[in-house]
Chain A
Amino acid sequence: MPEPWIKINQLTRRYHQKTVLHEINLEIFPKEVLTILGPNGAGKTTLLRILSTLEKADSGKILYNFPGQKPLTLSFPEKDHRRISDPLRPSLLYLFQKPVVFSGSVLDNLLFSARFRHIPVDRTKIEHVLEKVGILPLLHQNARSLSGGEVSRLALARAFLIEPAVLFLDEPSANLDPLGMQMLENLLLDWIHKTDMAIVLVTQDLFEAKRISDRVAFLLNGSLIECHPKSTFFSHPTNNLTKQFIQGSLPV
């Protein structure tokens, strides 16, 4: 097993009085797809947002250790979170569940991303990433007129342009049809095959988790119930709640 790129230690997040994440411990390794599985309101999105530095936690630590970079630890409550987490941002990319775009064309959207990250682009590169996700004909189309699925593809095209070390995907199946999902999964698996990147994917869909994951973590009511390699997770879950979730008999 290689060294983990991200090590989460006793991470806790509260909103007002409610504990959204409770003492989470988890590791993320290079070249793996880690799926965070759980029902609505389990805290999946919050966890993803904290890992991608969009949000702060209340206590606990996250250690980021990327090759060729100085290891960096966020110890919550981190006072100067934005500034301290800044060096991490080029390595991380979070894809929203909600379809969000900048006004302008599809091309504009890609160029903005490239400019923010100081990535040199040319026409070939832009066309290449759009071709990959199947929306090259939409190059000059107004991004606001895209469908939810097309926005998801645009977001993926941005990811290919940016090439982060860790890609966080928040419920990609929410906007993609089965065909789109198949494309996404194939592209991600191909990507991970070619590079060392890590993919952290949040979903409530068991089948999606089964298809794409290397490891699966089960999150329920803000607590991490268990985390195992995919085969173990589905065939021999240790926790009763996990068993019930897999069988679809988790009491509501």
Chain B
Amino acid sequence: MNAFWQGLNEAIVMILRGDSATYEALFLSLQVTVYALFVSSVIGFPLGIWLAFSRFKFKRLVMNLIFTFMGFPPVVAGLLVYLMLSRSGPLGYLQLLFTPTAMVLAQILLALPVIIGLTYLGIQAVDTSVWELAYTLGATRWQAGWMLFRESRHAILGALITAFGAAISEVGAAMLVGGNIEGFTRSLTTSLMLETRQGNFSRALALGLILLLVSFFVNAFLVLYNQTQGIKHHARALD
């Protein structure tokens, strides 16, 4: 228990003092996850909407695969990206292995299925006649899709939070494809692992605490944003 309180103490000191290694790890983690979430959202949300509406032959199989990949073991995702990017791999010439970009790629592999799957389920749960209503009111197909997306924004928020949590907290892929290079690819989770291995439990605990705080603030921001979106209306547009 002593180690726990010591870790807590040290964490606060590290945050307040602005320990550079910790902040570097924090920024790398945030940067990698934000990029991965951005790419996954741009691809995943439209794809989820599209899947919710389209009918094709192997749809059930495709959805089963997506749901399976929602629980993709990070270390397997890391392995796949590793094989793609390794010198003898098909994308080896890009020389991306052991870079933050490789970490982003691995996290996309983890976040994308979560976003597609949860968007799909979210849209299934809302009343799809909203789409028809928008369409009869003159919306283009994309505008109508947007209206439906808007109706399912609580599910969308859930998708973002889940994907964020999965991406920022994973360590297997970051370790494999990032390589935990100090000052370059050392993220919160990989450095946490390193500190634990080296027996610096209080430092490791401090990093864990920072990770939790990051998650807390990001989620609080997302939830708050969602709420203000719900209340906001266009009254101003009239004046």
Contact = CB atoms under 8 A, between A and B. Distances in A.
B138 A100 contact: no
Given A82-B141, A100-B127, A112 B136 contact: no
Contacts of A116: 134, 137-139, 143
Interface string A75-98: 000000010000001101110101
A98 B136 CA distance: 14
A90 B136 CA distance: 9
B130 A102 contact: yes
A47 interface: no
B66 to A, nearest CB: 27
B136 to A, nearest CB: 5
Given A82-B141, A111-B237, A103 B151 contact: yes
A102 B138 contact: no
Best-surrounded residue of A90, A93, A94, A103 (most CB of chain B within 10 A): A103
A52 interface: yes
Contacts of B12: none
Contacts of B134: 102, 112, 116
Interface string B119-157: 000000001011011111111010100010011000000
B233 A107 contact: yes
Interface string A37-75: 000000000000000101000000000000000000000
Contact of B133 (A96, A111, A118, A121): A96
A113 B127 contact: no
The bracket for how many chain A residues form the interface is 20 to 34
Contacts of B138: 89-90, 113, 116-118, 162
B235 interface: yes
B65 to A, nearest CB: 29
Nearest to B237: A111
A158 interface: yes
A155 to B, nearest CB: 9
A229 interface: no
Nearest to A123: B238
**Which 8 residue pairs of A and B lie closest in terms of their CB atoms, listed nearest first?**
A116-B138, A117-B138, A116-B139, A123-B238, A94-B136, A113-B137, A100-B133, A100-B129
Given A102-B147, A107-B234, A111-B234, 16 more contacts: A93-B136, A96-B129, A96-B136, A100-B129, A100-B132, A101-B133, A102-B130, A102-B133, A102-B134, A103-B150, A113-B137, A113-B138, A117-B137, A122-B238, A158-B137, A162-B137
7 contacts: A52-B136, A92-B136, A93-B137, A102-B151, A103-B230, A104-B233, A116-B143
